[in-house]
Structure 1
Amino acid sequence: MDLLIKNACMIIHDNQLNAVAIWIKDERIHAIGKNFDEGSFEQIIDAKNQLVTQGLVDVHVHLREPGFTYKETIKTGSLAASRGGFTTICAMPNLEPVPDTIEKYNQVQELISQSAVNHVLQYAPITKNLRSEDLVDQAALKNAGAFAFTNDGVGVQKAGTMYLAMKEAAKNQRAIVAHTEDESLLFNGVMHKGEKADELGLAGIMSAAESSQIARDLLLAEETGVHYHVCHVSSKESVRVIREAKKAGIQVSCEVCPHHLLFADEDIPKNHGYWKMNPPLRAREDQNALIEGLLDGTIDCIATDHAPHSFAEKNQDFNHSPFGIVGSEYAFQLIYTAFVKKGIFTLAQVIDWMAIKPAALFGLTVNRLNVGDPADLAIFDIEHSYTVDEKKFLSKAENTPFIGRELFGDTLYTLVNGKIVWQGGNQNGSLANFR
């Protein structure tokens, strides 16, 4: 099917292009120009001078299927991501059963092929059953389609296990993606260790629980030569050691989540599970260090860590609620509203951090809006605001403190392989200049 997107505005290398027409044919961008004969197209989308970007890429989501489908499914999770403008998402393996064999991994792949509305790439675990003991057969899982290995949800507690996993991953040319958390330093903490925890009477989690394991792993990565990627960096100490490791030539990359960029622990208004996440919201100085780390290149990309739970599970206090926050449906919108509109980030930077860079880090197909690229695209309404409404979520879950927040950048369309998988939002109005 031939599809035309007309009146598009695009950002290419920090340059704004207006009134662009994009011709999509056979699942790819066939041509880009100003005018095409509209009579030859089976479908036409009028972007009405709104922002068209390559599809966003999220390297960190939890889809909960199989094992926890009361929280989320591959169908609802991929729909939620499409609602947010994501065309590719990477799903964590903390499932039941854990996909730690070819048979179990293939079962998840089959579920994805049946249910996903966008591109879903499934991680394989580092160790069997996510325990810090026996390694999985990385070569076999690589051949089954695993693009990287992670135990996200828990840290690998034994240095020897991590070292052997890194050696094997380097041999298989795959990344080790680490949830960094030294469990011996948690002391039953449920939020960041600081004045707010004391005020709420809650046990705190020190930043060293994260940063000390990163420091350990960085030296092991230097020893093995593996690509080591750090999940959801949250503390200034973590940013510091990663920055120094990059200067030393260690092959390390990392991500940050929108909620850690927007909030600090002092912003938590009450003892409620919607504010409980892992890693926790840390101090204001940590929040500032994360923003600085993005801007200076220490932090490579933005990922959501979309972690859905049931309402009953999260509608409790910190001590009884599980860790986790949903984020797929409004991540770009949060970043645009809080940082681009205030002149802290540029749109080009955000597109790089949320589309180009995450794909490039893992050798995924990178859509740079060139002729011949896959027609994975998103159209955002940058001009009009909307309110985050949990009743309109496509995810099964609503565990987020951002409910009721006014945002800009609602997703009008998401296209995967040239097919519309999401259509909605306020499609009126135009945008003269959105940088």
Structure 2
Amino acid sequence: MQRKTRTISLAAATAAAVAVALSGCGLGSGTGAEADVSGAVEGTITFQTMQLSPTFDEYINAAIDQFESENPGTTVKWTDIPSDQAARKVSADSAAGTLPDVMDLDAATLAPLGRDSRVLDMSVQAADLQDRYVASAWESFDYGATAVAALPWYLNSPVLMSNSALVQQAGSPAAPTSYTELLEVSKEIAEKTGKAGFQPTSIGFPNYLLSLGVPLVNDDSTEAIVDTPEAEEFLQNLADLYTDGGIPADSVTAAQRTEIDTFSQGETAYLETGPSRLKIIQQNAPQVFDAITIDQPLGAQESTTWVVAHGLAVPQTSKNAATAVAFAEFLTSPENQLALAEQSSVFPSTAESLQDPFFSAEPTDAATQARGIVAASLFDGGTMAKPPAVDAEYANTLWSSVQTAITGETPVKDALAAAQTQLTELLQSRVQ
């Protein structure tokens, strides 16, 4: 039986944009006390996902059927929205008090609700489940005011892909294991092949600094911390690499090509990305795909590899919080997470699922090799949660501040100082 109905339209998107504009910070103040989850698991709840339909209609509907069967008297109404409309819809629904009972959101999109205590704290409501999830997933939803704003659901984390043809032309240097080594090897690539080593990105830059021990924000995410000796050294090395041709010039001055496009065109030797991108490269650049070798992600040895987490959150305004939390617990169980992973390119957040033979079996191709590497990195604690305040807005602000330093137009120290000031203003605007 098909339950799902799409609820987003152009009119709804327009209304959401208006709501964002009228709501100042977007959400107002939190509701204070936690919603009551002690009631019976019964009645109707609404469940909203981000762009899982139609690909996962069968999976989601089967899970709903099972939950309703195991909990007689319950009904789950599922809607799915485009991921590019999620932030606006969440803001509009929060302002209107109409958030769905269970929300599938990534850590960045959930951040405004978590910062404002508008969702249940799962460290309180589901504290006994903490050991179910890998640490970096659980920690990805810590917004300060709400210690754990969602039960972790599915994850993405990278491997390092190398174009073996370019690497061999450069004398086959060992694959880098850190961002510092990536810069060093990229210089070799440029000197010996005339190609770039890698393409830095706005979203990736905060990960580079985090891996070096730059905290990016203070403990309560009210001040930025990027003007440090470690950041200054790295940024100067990146600027030197730009001068040496170790990174593509147009990738710094404009967003003309994504890092995947550049790699697929054979213009860079290394790409750190999720395993799902292998299929894209295979379809668009089979010759480059055939030359790919898969290695451990950067930072795995220091437990600083990036991870992106989706979780299931329950708003304080839910009229049926007991059933909502029960459904979130059900859908994030090891069994259900493994079933989703087997049908997709995402990774479960539960340690038990990551130990399944689906991930640990002997690899047969690049895709299964990458899958095993990421699963082991997640299970072994090789990944590190990024501060939730360091979202896309933060990353873009930081990148725009350091671009002229990379191209040599602004002294590195000045660029980092300006970035820290702008980012602090951004963070403080969120708590006013």
- Identify the TM-score tier after normalising by the shorter chain: under 0.3
As a proportion of its length, which structure holds more strand?
Answer: 1
Q: Which has the larger radius of gyration?
A: 2
TM-score normalized by structure 1? 0.24
As a proportion of its length, which structure holds more helix?
Answer: 2
Question: Quick one: higher RCO (CA 8 Å, sep 6+), 1 or 2?
Answer: 2
